[in-house]
Structure 1
């Protein structure tokens, strides 16, 4: 069936047509044009279409057409995999049914008290939208009976399968009346979903909508290869320079949502976290804030990859790559919805670049490699933005009093107005310099070298390596330590990124319980020191101050001439220096500390070699004494 028609030709009742017309919908999408007539005729439906194709209206409109609002009994059931999707579907159904007087929609999901849900059911809600777990609880308690259900819909069936709800779905469907109409909608059709369809659907009409390349073109997909800058700095730079209305940043863990959201908030961005540890009330409030424009950047886990539909979302950023290609499709589907355009960006480490081919195949699209704005471009962006802000302030603000004040200050201090303006501008740009330090040069890792087929910048065997220039250090006290959860790599990363300081110019670091010590180059500019004080690690300001405290070396290995200590690339594998800068063993302890850490190097029963005289008397003089 072609979709070259309007809703009025599909046979929907007048009340529903008026509602969707008021919502601005005129022509049905392909999934709607094919599914609605089949469902109005009473057929079961097996619908296969990607997210964002209008599946809610495809099953919601015909199912609502068969409901009698005068009967206070549950007549329609929609199963959704997540709370967010359940809320979204329920909201859409309420909008479709706005002209159906007496119709009530009950949303049932975990994380909410049972009382309000039971009251909605007892008041005769004709439509039930639920997640599987909470629905099963109500069925077992006897607070919800499915005997009067006329139509049951499984929305995002493949996601319910991925979340382990397969047995729960089968249990629920076994409690439905035999004559109930069934509609199963899914983005993909794995074998387990097909088996459910074969068991519970009666001669279903299979509606399959191929990926619409024109729609896919609405989402521009880009990738940045992580090199030079770390991902945190890259996120900051994009958040500052991209032209976006709202952005979702997907990360892998709940802790990451909080850490990134707090970091961006401290930088002045309107950011917030959304994860499964938050109460349902908190999550709903956060989504509402995103709708209203009080939040511009949402840092989230995949808990919202399905079901979040906010028109403001123009960009999706995959800070961490998803576990599979299908999750990637659903993530980027949060933008470019309903004909709007959107941009999806992902951060890929060199070893993750091969995953991009799978994403392209899954989306029938192309992922373009991109570069981040350089430090110079970032500075120009800040200058242009500040210039516009100042011009708007001049045109929209009464500044007579300020002009008189600055003239008086100039006269009293024998300064020109330009000098005072320059001083104010200097103070204004301290936290965000108008001329940021140049970006560090990217360092090639093993994957890069394999791809390039060369030895990188390694010198020929036997060639003498050029020694790095010596660095004259001063010691600073930082008000973060072990009791705040701080690690050495946190301090190195924060200082290197915020001050645009090469990690080779960071000397020794020593962690204490309530504070830390770090060596930094002498004669740093005043604005750099001011910025150092304001840097946050583990949500605490460093409040850096020069100190005369001495960082005592650990172990007996001599320091290098440049003030640091021997170690691969100046630190450990994750980019952070171990305390003291020594090359350490796997648990992070310096080799010079082995005797302190675990005693002498001994035999399997932990006896020092010097105590093994009975078994091996000849070796007694070779034990560690």
Structure 2
């Protein structure tokens, strides 16, 4: 394997790389002007028939780096006389397989009788078998489905000339390496191999050493792990504002074309997409439980501007390539730094500017620091838009709608109707326009009424829980208990819980300022805690599932109970008695807190 070359810029234009005329026409038609560093470094050796080991981050143009030389050589050698494919590309996910297949089809637009087939799990075998029987030039597939076809005898690799591993480190992470090894062993010994990976762990190096011959090793030296055209910001969750309200504010005030919102679980994507849809946004969920055909339709709707927001799990972090995605919101922080890089790589594509925003809770600060270190790029702190800024954007959009309607719609009938009303009721036109504007906004908060109503849906008027109104909350003195209510949580002394554990969990998960949390009375198998009145239903439901001291809080309201007269007193027994599992002195048998 030859020594690696490190490139930071593209030294030559596409026209000097040696691509075929048909492929160059396609390159020009899609608007490519100059190759990216990975393309400039890998296309010449691939055209010369050499194996290539390429290391570059996602979003750097790796697909064109192997697709363009394969198509050029395939076109130069004439039509495929056999129905068996001449090139096989392995991709870790269905989304990436579809994306790569679409790229091949686009680059082959001037090659006659070219056929590419994506094969992946989640799609019926029927269409794949029919296409394989008709004959294809390139197969792009996930390792599991490729293995299935090879074992069934429905896919033949006897004429294979090129093999590509795309996102090899992701295949390793997803447990596909053994499948990849098996596929390698069932390919002809004389085939050209290109292996691309964002990182080079030992297992990937071993595969390269075993299956690549005298490979040209190319490492794209990036100053950062993420594209420099992506602006990265973060917001610390808390201060009385929940994540859903924060996201809604951003949607109201942050100009965006299309947005990809990442949640950690499938259930969370469905719930968040449903809530955003209810708030009037064109939104859909994308996760592994959604049938493949529906997932493809969802991505197509985003491309066609029928959707503006997709809420996704990491299943869409790779392979989802939609140019109009201007913003990526990490609603839930990813579990690892690599996932973060792949997530935000969905924006800022093809040299465009992009924005990535990360929501971070206090308990996630260590992971956030690891992410910031991995990106080698500062992630800026950000303040949420104020109510005044949100209202300003609402008014701007309202005025734009007026202008667009005047320019694009036929208004003769309505002019007549308005004039008839004006004459009959002797009303000023400006008063009529104001009344019509008020009617047109429906149930939305009044425009410009930051001090009267929230410009985004409010969770609660109670103290302690987030609202969109930026006016300071009027609070009764701390000695007052009328703005607090008592809750029971199913964790106590026998579980080893301490007041700080309870305060931290509630402050982080409910967005309650710790100073607004009243008395905490830790008992043997449960605890009592006084919290601000008006807890939103969604926060109440969420707190039921929050884990503290290896127990779910399972929070419930204590009917008829009143807070203790000294909010903020947090009790626990002396250490010796706590170890013995005894109740604190003066502990009551009943579930009601001491008054």
Pairwise TM-score range, normalised by the shorter structure:
0.7 to 0.9
The alignment status of 1:230 with 2:242, answered yes or no, reads yes
Cα 1:351–1:396, aligned 2, differ >3 Å: closer, same or farther?
same
Gaps of 5+ in 1: 446-463, 472-495, 498-503, 505-564, 580-584, 594-621
Tell me whether 26-35 or 312-321 shows the greater mean CA deviation: 26-35
| Partner SS, residue 183 of structure 1 | strand
Cα distance, 1:179 vs structure 2: 1.5
Equivalent of 1:55 in 44, 57, 62: 62
Q: Distance in 2 between matches of 1:230 and 1:470?
A: 20
Q: Distance in 1 between matches of 2:193 and 2:463?
A: 56
Is the contact made by 1:103 and 1:126 (CA closer than 8 Å) also made in structure 2?
yes
Q: Name the structure 2 match of 1:185.
A: 196
Q: Name the structure 2 match of 1:141.
A: 152
Q: Name the structure 1 match of 2:273.
A: 261
Cα 1:392–1:116, aligned 2, differ >3 Å: closer, same or farther?
closer
Q: Equivalences for 1:293-312 in 2 at 5 Å?
A: 293-312=305-324
| Partner SS, residue 567 of structure 1 | strand
Equivalent of 2:326 in 288, 294, 314: 314
Is the contact made by 1:321 and 1:347 (CA closer than 8 Å) also made in structure 2?
yes
Q: Distance in 2 between matches of 1:82 and 1:101?
A: 29
The alignment status of 1:34 with 2:44, answered yes or no, reads no
Q: Name the structure 1 match of 2:573.
A: none
The alignment status of 1:65 with 2:78, answered yes or no, reads no
| Partner SS, residue 206 of structure 2 | helix
Cα 1:576–1:421, aligned 2, differ >3 Å: closer, same or farther?
same
Using structure 1 for the length normalisation, give the TM-score. Answer: 0.71
Cα distance, 1:311 vs structure 2: 1.0
Cα distance, 1:214 vs structure 2: 11
Is the contact made by 2:249 and 2:385 (CA closer than 8 Å) also made in structure 1?
yes
Higher relative contact order structure (alpha carbons within 8 Å, sequence separation ≥ 6): 2
Q: Distance in 2 between matches of 1:395 and 1:216?
A: 40
Cα distance, 1:234 vs structure 2: 1.4
Equivalent of 1:86 in 86, 97, 109: 97
Q: Equivalences for 1:423-438 in 2 at 5 Å?
A: 423-429=435-441, 430-434=443-447, 435-436=449-450, 437=453
Is the contact made by 2:463 and 2:534 (CA closer than 8 Å) also made in structure 1?
no
The alignment status of 1:282 with 2:245, answered yes or no, reads no
Cα distance, 1:99 vs structure 2: 2.6
Cα 1:42–1:353, aligned 2, differ >3 Å: closer, same or farther?
same
Q: Name the structure 1 match of 2:530.
A: 567
Q: Name the structure 2 match of 1:155.
A: 166
Is the contact made by 2:168 and 2:195 (CA closer than 8 Å) also made in structure 1?
yes
Is the contact made by 1:356 and 1:367 (CA closer than 8 Å) also made in structure 2?
no
Cα 1:571–1:587, aligned 2, differ >3 Å: closer, same or farther?
farther
The alignment status of 1:105 with 2:68, answered yes or no, reads no
Q: Deviations over 1:494-553 (max 9, x none)?
A: xx99xxxxxx9xxxxxxxxxxxxxxxxxxxxxxxxxxxxxxxxxxxxxxxxxxxxxxxxx
Q: Distance in 2 between matches of 1:444 and 1:260?
A: 19
Cα distance, 1:215 vs structure 2: 7.8
Equivalent of 2:304 in 284, 289, 292: 292
Cα distance, 1:190 vs structure 2: 1.4
Cα 1:280–1:407, aligned 2, differ >3 Å: closer, same or farther?
same
Q: Name the structure 1 match of 2:389.
A: 377
Cα 1:116–1:405, aligned 2, differ >3 Å: closer, same or farther?
closer
Q: Distance in 2 between matches of 1:189 and 1:136?
A: 24
Q: Distance in 2 between matches of 1:214 and 1:225?
A: 23
| Partner SS, residue 221 of structure 2 | coil
Is the contact made by 1:7 and 1:27 (CA closer than 8 Å) also made in structure 2?
yes
Cα distance, 1:199 vs structure 2: 1.9
Q: Name the structure 2 match of 1:532.
A: none
Cα 1:381–1:354, aligned 2, differ >3 Å: closer, same or farther?
same
Cα distance, 1:63 vs structure 2: 2.2
Is the contact made by 2:465 and 2:535 (CA closer than 8 Å) also made in structure 1?
no
Q: Name the structure 2 match of 1:166.
A: 177
Cα 1:441–1:58, aligned 2, differ >3 Å: closer, same or farther?
farther
Q: Name the structure 1 match of 2:503.
A: none
Cα distance, 1:393 vs structure 2: 3.1
Q: Distance in 2 between matches of 1:322 and 1:212?
A: 23
Q: Distance in 1 between matches of 2:316 and 2:405?
A: 39
Cα 1:50–1:411, aligned 2, differ >3 Å: closer, same or farther?
same
Q: Deviations over 1:133-184 (max 9, x none)?
A: 1111101111112222111110001111111111111111111111122111
Q: Name the structure 2 match of 1:555.
A: none
| Partner SS, residue 90 of structure 1 | helix
Q: Name the structure 2 match of 1:199.
A: 210
The alignment status of 1:6 with 2:13, answered yes or no, reads yes
Is the contact made by 1:150 and 1:181 (CA closer than 8 Å) also made in structure 2?
yes
Q: Name the structure 2 match of 1:576.
A: 540
Cα distance, 1:343 vs structure 2: 0.7
Q: What do you get for the CA RMSD once the two structures are aligned?
A: 3.4
The alignment status of 1:390 with 2:354, answered yes or no, reads no
Cα distance, 1:47 vs structure 2: 0.6
Q: Name the structure 1 match of 2:367.
A: 355
Q: Deviations over 1:5-52 (max 9, x none)?
A: 122322222222222122222322111111112222222211100011
Q: Name the structure 2 match of 1:515.
A: none
Q: Name the structure 1 match of 2:491.
A: none
Using structure 2 for the length normalisation, give the TM-score. Answer: 0.74
Q: Name the structure 2 match of 1:466.
A: 479
Cα distance, 1:389 vs structure 2: 2.0
Aligned length: 486
Is the contact made by 2:266 and 2:313 (CA closer than 8 Å) also made in structure 1?
yes
